[in-house]
A = this chain, B = another copy of it.
Amino acid sequence: MSFKNNVQSLWHIFLKKILAMSLLTVGTVAFDDIQTPYGHAENAIGGAATYISLAASYFIKENRLVSVIGDDFPQATLDLLKNRNINLDGLQIKKGEKSFFWAGRYHDNMNSRDTLDTQLNVLADFNPILPATYRDSQYLMLGNLTPAVQMQVIEQMDARPALIALDTMNFWMNIALDSLLEVLKKIDILLINDEEARQLSGEHSLVKAAKIIHTMGPRFLVIKKGEHGALLFEGDKLFFAPALPLQEVIDPTGAGDTFAGGFMGYLTKTKDLSFTNLKRAIIYGSAMASFCVEQFSILGLVDLSAAQINDRVQRFVDLANFDINLTLD
């Protein structure tokens, strides 16, 4: 290769880096069977990576996905993801195998659900292989998976990403705590729900829980409280974002992943890891989650306009904003 070609190539890499920050998402792509008081969705599209990537797709162009499915997955859905500019080079399709399947029924209050069935299928021996073109991703979102698989992904990166975020669940705290603690040392942001934060820290008070979890590695902690909003901790700094009160919550499935996708999408777009900007990312994540729960499965996330998202964010501003003078004397 000539000197000129080398320079062009380096220049091209440089431009790509600064113009289009890339997000790599690793997680499940799956079928869900969902029962809520509003209906029953069979063979619905689900999976953490699906929700995360769709939500992030409204913020970024370089949106890379690593997952595994069987050959039972509809081509129309893959086309839909591609049309939203989601890079599926890292999506393994296993011939003759079935995709991960989850079935659940929500209770009347939508706050709790029973798992009716879980079939790991292709996920049972998921070995995430990052395409060479993915290994320079600057932002990395590790969806809820075996901690060992999450670690494998980190180890395949060319360089340490600018930001690594991780979602996990109580299940891994129960059966794989040691490897979870290992991967927590490698990450910047942990996203978990309030009960998981309590279990991981052994503290009921979320303020105390956050202090303990910070010592495990993550500089930032996001505690998701579903319909009760989300908390962001960085050391002693604390921010709370409400969830938007909605007329109807049709299907809460994927709300937490959608939140994570909006959050990471916004951070990848803005390249600013200040607490002030993370607050904004939390609001964008909350806005995306509010679209998610208004419809079954991924339907609320496939065709949003920028104006719709901006309007939704404005509703959060109106909801949470107040001005006050500390005039008491």
Knowing A205-B246, A205-B249, the reply to whether A238 touches B309 (Cβ < 8 A) is no
Report A197-222 CB contacts with B as 1/0, cut-off 8 Å: 00000001111100000000000000
Report A219-248 CB contacts with B as 1/0, cut-off 8 Å: 000000100110100000011111001111
Copies in the complex: 2
Cβ-defined contact, A247 with B207, below 8 A: yes
Q: Among A225, A240, A246, A309, find the residue whose CB has the most chain B CB atoms closer than 10 A.
A: A240
Determine the chain B residues whose CB is within 8 A of the CB of A113 once the complex forms: none
Cβ-defined contact, A322 with B324, below 8 A: no
Knowing A207-B247, A306-B328, the reply to whether A318 touches B238 (Cβ < 8 A) is yes
Name the 9 nearest CB pairs between A and B, nearest first. Answer: A310-B326, A228-B228, A279-B322, A240-B242, A306-B328, A280-B324, A207-B245, A207-B247, A240-B319
Cβ-defined contact, B322 with A280, below 8 A: yes
Given pairs A240-B242, A320-B320, 5 additional interface contacts (CB within 8 A): A207-B247, A238-B245, A279-B322, A280-B322, A310-B326
Determine the chain B residues whose CB is within 8 A of the CB of A309 once the complex forms: 328
Cβ-defined contact, B206 with A245, below 8 A: yes
Knowing A205-B248, A240-B242, A247-B207, the reply to whether A283 touches B324 (Cβ < 8 A) is yes
A160 → chain B closest CB, angstroms? 29
B-contacting residues, A274-329, CB 8 Å: 276, 279-280, 282-283, 306, 309-310, 313-314, 317-320, 322-324, 326, 328-329
- Does any Cβ of B come within 8 Å of A114's Cβ? no
